[in-house]
Chain A
Amino acid sequence: MFDYAPAPEARSIVDIKPSYGLFINGEFVDPAEGGTFKTISPATEEVLAEVAEAGPSDVDAAVRAARAAFRTVWGPMPGAARAKYLYRIARLIQERARELAVLESLDNGKPIRESRDVDIPLAAAHFFYYAGWADKLEHAGFGPAPRPLGVAAQVIPWNFPLLMLAWKIAPALACGNTVVLKPAETTPLSALVFAEICQQADLPPGVVNIVTGAGATGAALVAHPDVDKVAFTGSTAVGREIARAVAGTRKRLTLELGGKAANIVFDDAPIDQAVEGIVNGIFFNQGHVCCAGSRLLVQESIYEPLLDSLKRRMARLRVGDPLDKNTDIGAINSAAQLERIRALAEVGSAEGAVPWSPPCELPDRGFWFAPTIFTGVSQAHRIAREEIFGPVLSVLTFRTPAEAVEKANNTPYGLSAGIWTEKGSRILEIADRLRAGVVWANTFNRFDPSSPFGGYKESGYGREGGRHGLEAYLAH
């Protein structure tokens, strides 16, 4: 037996303060209304730090700081100078990469291998990419002299905290906007360390403001009358509320919401890589991914061998301590999320689908859910329609390519999809027909700052990444 001994990443590399204030106008300040809340490690339930809760007057102060910075400093600043600030931030993220990765795994629960190899490098890359646009906006295809919108209110989720922050802040700043960003209440820490990075970069005060808090803080931010732009990533339910809230105002809105992506495997797929793609599609980041391949659509003619291979592969998944370098699957981000996953899994069984998980030793403390597949699922099952946002895969079958496309599109969502086949023309034809903003062929969950990301239908509107990602932050 080749047992891997524990290989823990050193926690000591990150220095977490006992408490953090709000980051407004370049400084950390106490909240005016005095509330605080705790953020915990979902793997052990220990308290990591105490974080300020921004009330309405704190949100107002942040927006005013952003407005002043926009009018007097950032708005008039030439793009080449904005670029240099963004390059500095990118470099600082690279320099502090290891510290940020450990922090992210502690606060979010995701394996250190993922925060180290995916989250943090991509966050730095996003700042590098958009730094390069700041002084070339006239070449971006939005007219000869594109202008920023002003102050952007940005609310981000807990699944990729620093990366989602980068997706929001980098393009906004590159285009000349200033921002007030609210990180998720269960994962505020990397945003607060990012604020320190802004200080190290000598970013002018007020250009970036971080207001921590929960739903009420987010709502106050979105509703603030002096905000020109709202950008939200999160659930479709909240996205709908925000869309209603900005109706009739001047506020521009982009939304990146939920998904129920179909991962379609044809009988001529490169099987071993397809199995990796299925596993990566739903178990990467514990399935806490809006674009997760949460519906496996497998061609009926290869159903049994594919399922055998999939189960064999799942049995190798290592669930455990997020800070262990050999962990594949970490903790569920919160008790609330764990409850939601369990509830939907129970619904799945109740509706007649058959669950299977490999044997897993789950720790006693913390929030854990074993990677699970449900077979015998049909489109009518709730677990085929509702986003679970956890390591749970619903397996359906299809007979013909047209049927696969029909089933894949038969959802109010439209964020992403996967296609596995060796036949090039089939990839391109199916990609044409899929109503999804991101199509992965013979791969899955690949992200790049130059590649636009966003959904069709109820998965939201607007794109992040690439040249198209500038559009949300420019006036027209």
Chain B
Amino acid sequence: MPTDAVAPIGGRLSVRKTYKLFIGGAFPRSESGRSYEVRSADGQFLANAALASRKDVRDAVVAARAAFARWSGATAYNRGQILYRIAEMMEGRRAQFVDEVAAFGEDAATVDAAIDRWVWYAGWADKFAQVHGGANPVAGPYFNLSTPEPTGVVGIVAPAEPALLGLVSVVAPAIVTGNTTVVLASETRPLPAVTLAEVLATSDLPGGVVNVLTGRVAEIAPWLASHMDVNAIDLTGVEDTALARTLEEEAAENLKRVVRPPAAPVDWTADPGVERMAAFVEIKTVWHPKGL
């Protein structure tokens, strides 16, 4: 992100970052070769972000599905450790994130809140089942236990803003329980999402657990919503009500679990509660007789 529009005489020229997609733990450009301009709050050119295509969506879903067995099969403790490590890595990059969100008119407090949100969710990994599951006292000589299990591959449309805090707030609750995700970043403020992907790549998070696509939501979200190998879709970031409705209709084809866009503006700094984790789990109930 260029903070030096003109190189000072005799001064050091910066090495500008290239913003790519994040799929399967790697950073490919869009297979379409396209990009689009990202501008700051006051109209300055910031960077060209990759403009993801339907094939990128396809590849991301394949990567997310491939990563699901290992991520959902990891112990909750292990997932918690990795989410905490993400927070550690983000803390180290705090200054870069602050610069990036500032270009969009957002303040440093949102970055701190985003880092702290990872810490909060890290602590849920080995507790959610205790709060959301339990033994059921059925009327008969049966042991009966309900436990939450991750639903699978979750497609997510991240909030348009705040760029970083909104993204973290929708991704962390999906993956902490063992889901893998394909995330469409904020269309106008995609850069922190890519930097977050760099953090994820250095946090021992297995490739494919989080895949980040940047581009036109109206163009690529329908491919995610209609994909038959995606188990759930989070439409939080879809601001156009007509589009949201179309996406929900597409999602009905394989009965995806749907999280609709919020009815009212969200205070992203408030306690998230457990709803976003609960939205992407299946409750499995097991019976077994008790007898000698």
Contact = CB atoms under 8 A, between A and B. Distances in A.
User: Are A and B a genuine interacting pair, yes or no?
Assistant: yes
A139 interface: yes
Nearest to A136: B123
Interface stretch (B97-105, B179-187, B224-232, B283-291): B283-291
A467 B127 contact: yes
A335 interface: no
A139 B116 contact: no
B127 A426 contact: no
B124 A136 contact: yes
B202 to A, nearest CB: 17
Interface string A116-153: 00000000010011011111100111000000000000
Contact of A430 (B80, B116, B292): B292
Given A80-B116, A132-B80, A426-B291, A467 B123 contact: no
A87 B131 contact: no
Interface string A399-433: 00110000000000000000000001110111010
A132 B288 contact: no
Contact of A426 (B76, B84, B120, B292): B292
Interface residues of B, number: 24
A132 B124 contact: yes
A119 B131 CA distance: 27
Contact of A450 (B81, B84, B130): B130
Contacts, number: 67
B268 interface: no
Determine chain A's interface SS by DSSP, over half rule. helix
A225 B141 CA distance: 49
B291 to A, nearest CB: 4
A84 interface: yes
B289 A132 contact: no
A131 B120 CA distance: 10
Interface string B39-63: 0000000000000000000000000
Interface in B272-292: 274, 288-292
Contacts of B80: 128, 132
B116 A132 contact: no
A424 B127 contact: no
A133 B289 contact: no
Contacts of B194: none
Given A80-B116, A125-B77, A131 B123 contact: yes
Contacts of A135: 120, 123
A401 B292 contact: yes
Interface in A430-476: 430, 432, 449-450, 466-467
B119 interface: yes
Contacts of B124: 132, 136
B122 interface: yes
A80 B119 contact: yes
A129 B126 contact: yes
Given A84-B119, A87-B84, A467-B131, A139 B274 contact: yes
A83 B123 contact: yes
Contacts of A139: 131, 274
Given A87-B84, A428-B143, A133 B291 contact: no
B77 A128 contact: yes
A428 B286 CA distance: 13
A428 B289 contact: yes
B164 to A, nearest CB: 18
A82 to B, nearest CB: 11
Given A401-B292, A425-B291, A133 B127 contact: yes
Given A132-B80, A141-B131, A429 B120 contact: no
Nearest to A430: B292
A283 to B, nearest CB: 27
Contacts of B274: 139
Contacts of A87: 84, 119
A466 B290 CA distance: 25
Contact of A133 (B116, B123, B125, B292): B123
Interface in B168-225: none
A132 B131 contact: no
A368 to B, nearest CB: 36
A125 B123 CA distance: 12
A428 B126 CA distance: 24
B290 A425 contact: yes
A289 to B, nearest CB: 23
Contacts of A134: 123
Contacts of B126: 129, 132, 449-450
A425 B123 contact: no
A132 B123 contact: yes
Contacts of A132: 80, 122-127
Interface in B114-147: 116, 119-120, 122-127, 130-131, 141, 143
A131 B122 CA distance: 10
Given A128-B80, A139-B274, A429 B290 contact: yes
Contacts of B122: 132
Interface in A223-256: none
Interface string B61-102: 000000000000000110011001000000000000000000
A136 B124 CA distance: 9
Interface string A57-86: 000000000000000000000001001100
A467 B130 contact: yes
Given A80-B119, A428-B289, A136 B127 contact: yes
Of the listed residues B80, B119, B131, B290, the one surrounded by the most CB atoms of chain A closer than 10 A to its CB is B290
B127 A428 contact: no
Contacts of B77: 125, 128-129
Contacts of B288: 424-425, 428
Nearest to B121: A132
B143 A450 contact: no
Contact of B292 (A125, A131, A429, A450): A429
B131 A140 contact: yes
A317 B274 CA distance: 49
Nearest to B87: A87
Contacts of A450: 76, 126-127, 130
A402 B130 contact: no
What 6 A-B pairs come out closest when comparing CB atoms?
Answer: A132-B123, A429-B290, A428-B290, A425-B291, A428-B143, A401-B292
18 contacts: A87-B119, A128-B84, A129-B77, A131-B123, A132-B124, A132-B125, A132-B127, A134-B123, A135-B120, A136-B124, A425-B289, A425-B290, A425-B292, A428-B143, A430-B292, A432-B290, A450-B76, A467-B131
Given A135-B120, A449-B126, A450-B76, 4 more contacts: A87-B84, A136-B120, A139-B274, A140-B131
